[in-house]
């Protein structure tokens, strides 16, 4: 038998749900944190799918922590990358980054073996170097490395 009175009583709470947490914060802060939870969920979903971090075959606590740290750092770098290059799905971005391959043709000299796209062009433009040149020499790699050192120095000031 359907208890219509009970249904009517329960309708008062439609759209509401309880939050149980061990965080010490005001109710408004907890609501704000909970509203941003989807962002955290999305990050974990990206790690599991796009970064292919599973399955994990580590058992020792130090290795588990190390694995988590590497995954977290990869996610952090990827989030920074996505801020720099917005407008592309995580799948598309990671697929493009994985295909950014070079072939060594002689000691320290490389040629690109990836397909140039709008996304690869945006990556090159945003980060200030090109890997789609006919020949990438060891000298050019050193120039890129020096450039990152200079930018790091300016970031500290």
| Residue-by-residue DSSP string for 6-66 | HHHHHGGGTT-----------HHHHHHHHHTHHHHHHHHHHHHHTS---S----SHHHHHH
DSSP 93: H
pLDDT band for position 14 (cuts 50, 70, 90): confident
For the record, the structure tokens of 28 come out as 């408004």
30-72 per-position pLDDT tens digit: 888 888 888 888 888 887 777 777 777 888 999 989 988 988 8
pLDDT tens per residue across span 109-143: 999 999 999 999 999 999 888 899 889 998 998 88
Question: Which comes out higher in pLDDT, residue 19 or 108?
Answer: 108
Judged by DSSP in three states, 107 sits in coil
Residue 120: which residues within 8 A CB-CB, separation 6 or more?
96, 100, 114, 132
**77 contacts 93 by C-beta, under 8 angstroms:** no
pTM above 0.85, yes or no: no
């Amino acid at each position: 038998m359907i208890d219509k009175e009970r249904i009517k009583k329960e309708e008062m709470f439609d759209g509401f749900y309880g939050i149980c947490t061990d965080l010490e914060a005001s109710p408004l802060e907890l609501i704000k944190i909970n509203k941003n939870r989807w962002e955290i969920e999305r990050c974990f979903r990206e790690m599991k799918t796009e970064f292919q971090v599973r399955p994990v075959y580590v058992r020792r606590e130090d290795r588990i922590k190390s694995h988590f740290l590497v995954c977290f750092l990869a996610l952090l770098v990827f989030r920074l990358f996505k801020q720099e290059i917005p407008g592309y799905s995580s799948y598309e971005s990671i697929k493009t980054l994985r295909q950014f391959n070079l072939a060594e043709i002689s000691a320290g000299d490389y040629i690109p073996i990836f397909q140039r796209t709008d996304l690869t062009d945006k990556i090159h433009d945003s980060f200030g170097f090109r890997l789609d040149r006919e020949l990438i020499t060891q000298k050019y790699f050193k120039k890129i490395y020096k450039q990152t050192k200079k930018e790091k120095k300016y970031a500290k000031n």
